[in-house]
Amino acid sequence: MFEYFPDNYTWSAAFSLAVMAGGQLGQMDRWLSPIRGSDPDPDAWTRTWVAMAKEQEEHGVEELASGFRLAASARDVRAAIYYLTGERQTPPGSAKMRSYEAALAAFQRGVALMPTPLERVEVPSPDGILPGYLIPSRFSGSSPIVISIAA
């Protein structure tokens, strides 16, 4: 298995989840390579992911101003992914809450710019409701569906 942080399983797993969620490997490598070989530093982790997310938000603002709604949407959703990835490894406190709130705001902006609205769904499970979003197909007729649950 590929481990971006060979000596830190937790950080490597977070990195892999961010890629699977839609993070871009090149962007992530550019920002994370400075902390890759160092001792685990939760503050450096948080700062790096927040900076990565803010860069996406800035590009999204520029793209929206130029009329590129779809590109701006993708940037905001990617910013949300980066904020959340950083937040999950951040110790409880104000930095964690700021990252979480920034992720929610970025996601909402990204969803508002999508050409096809998301549908909020709730899937019953033995442990309670699993909330999620259904992204409708842009094709008419029957379409396959993929359900991804991160547990």
On whether the CB atoms of residues 102 and 53 are closer than 8 A, the answer is yes
Residue 142: per-residue pLDDT: 79
Sign of CA dihedral 63, 68, 71, 75: positive
Residue 120: per-residue pLDDT: 85
Options 1.10.10.410, 2.60.120.380, 1.20.1440.110, 1.20.120.330; CATH of 9-113: 1.20.1440.110
58-66: long-range contacts, CB 8 A cutoff, minimum separation 24: 60/109, 60/110, 64/113
Question: Locate tokens 């590929």: which residue?
Answer: 2
Residue 147: per-residue pLDDT: 65
Helix (H, G, I), strand (E, B) or coil at 10: helix
Residue 84: per-residue pLDDT: 96
Output the six-digit token pair for 62. Answer: 């520029």
φ and ψ of 133, to 5 deg? -130, 140
Q: What is the mean pLDDT of residues 21-28?
A: 94
pLDDT band at 148 (very low <50, low <70, confident <90, very high): low
What residue segments make up the domains of the chain, in order of their start?
A: 9-113
Longest dimension (CA), the chain: 53
Q: What is the mean pLDDT of residues 61-85?
A: 97
The answer to pTM > 0.75 is yes
Helix (H, G, I), strand (E, B) or coil at 115: coil
